[in-house]
Structure 1
C-alpha cells in the first residue's frame, strides 16, 4: 500500500463519523497526537497501534449494523 498513514487515518475517521477528539479519547491519546498523525508529523507507537485498530474496527462494525442511507 502506497498510502501515507495520516491520509488513510483521516479518511477512516471521516467514514466513521469520528472527530479527532472523539477518536483520541477512545484510543487514550491527546487530540494533538491524532492531529500529528494525520498531518504526518508523527505516527502511533507500536503500543498504541492495536488501540487504533480496535477503535476503527468497532466504528466499522457499528456502521455496518446501522448504515446511513
Structure 2
C-alpha cells in the first residue's frame, strides 16, 4: 500500500498549502478585482502585498472555500 499525504481540511487550510483548491490569475487591478469578488461572497485572506517592484498580490477565499490568488504586474 502506498502512503498517502495527510489531508489538510478545507476552510482551515492556509492559502499557501499544496492542493487543487487554489488557482492564480494575473489581473490589471487587484483592488478592483477584490471589490468585484466581494460582491460574489469572496473575502480577502490577509492583506494585499507588494513583491518587490514586480507584483501586487492577494489571496481571496470564495464561498466554497476555494482560494484564488491575484497578481497585478507592476510597471
What is the TM-score normalised by the length of structure 2? 0.27
Q: Which protein has the bigger strand share? A: 2
Q: Which protein has the bigger helix share? A: 1
Structure showing greater radius of gyration is: 2
